[in-house]
Amino acid sequence: MFFCLIIIITFKQNNRCRCDTSIITSNSIASQQYKLAARESRCLLIYMLFYKHYHLINISFLFIFSYIFDKIMYEDVLVMDNFYPDKYQKSIYSINYKKLKKNGIKCILFDLNNTLVSYECDYPDDKLREFIYNLGKDFKIIIVSNSPKNRIRPFKEILNVDASFSSKKPFSKKFKKIMKLYNFKDTEIVMIGDRIITDIYGGNKMNFTTILVNSVSESEPFLNRIVRHFDRSIIKRFNKRGLLIKGEYYE
């Protein structure tokens, strides 16, 4: 019941914001910015409520979350643009890293699960080790994952890279901490991952270059597949605009 109440209040508040924007200012640009911030924050709230408290929510609540999420995403193309990756590639191995270096990128943030390795993989294979070793000659490599410390540790130690666990992407706290700790500018960082709502949206909020890659494997924990629904909703919206078609890669 608690989550039902939260969802209903959120939905009503979203409608109220749409009505109030015409009163707040007659400037159309300011009005659009206000609506963008309001809808974006509510969209994120709904996602994080489900993501962080799924163990308390009956599976039937997914339909309520999905309906409101889809409605918010559908209403404003400005919101959608915040989820659009700068580049889309097949995998981490098909990215043009020489071009990234030429464009001033100095730090690469990699998501872990289904970006570097599948969920079933507990240790990096030889191909990934060699790849990260060579990449580390030109870039600072950091794994930024929402997974817990015990999941990240083997990759951090074997690949000899820095890592951020329980990062709570797409929230900005860990991203800001990385920028401050390593003294990088936002234009010097690229975020690479397979999830739009965590990796791409999180990176775009920080003004990083963002690269979406296909998931290494379709296999993932059941609850993660449920959360993945939100990514699919966004991709469907892009597909209707002729964008982000699977297999049609771009730089």
Largest CA distance in the chain: 60
Segments making up each domain of the chain, as ranges: 2-81, 87-240
Greater model confidence, 218 or 156: 156
| Residue 226: pLDDT over 50 | yes
The answer to which of 46-55, 89-98, 125-134 has the lowest mean pLDDT is 46-55
The answer to which of 157-161, 173-177, 198-202, 230-234 has the lowest mean pLDDT is 230-234
* Cα angle for residues 41, 251, 114 (degrees, 5° grid): 60
| Residue 131: pLDDT over 60 | yes
Query: Mean pLDDT of all residues in the chain?
Result: 78
Mean pLDDT of 152-162: 96
Q: What is the pLDDT of residue 236?
A: 85
DSSP per residue over 84-129, as a string?
Answer: --SEEESSGGGS-HHHHHHTT--EEEE--BTTTB-TT--S--HHHH
- Give CATH superfamily name and number for 87-240: HAD superfamily/HAD-like (3.40.50.1000)
User: What's the pTM?
Assistant: 0.74
Greater model confidence, 9 or 104: 104
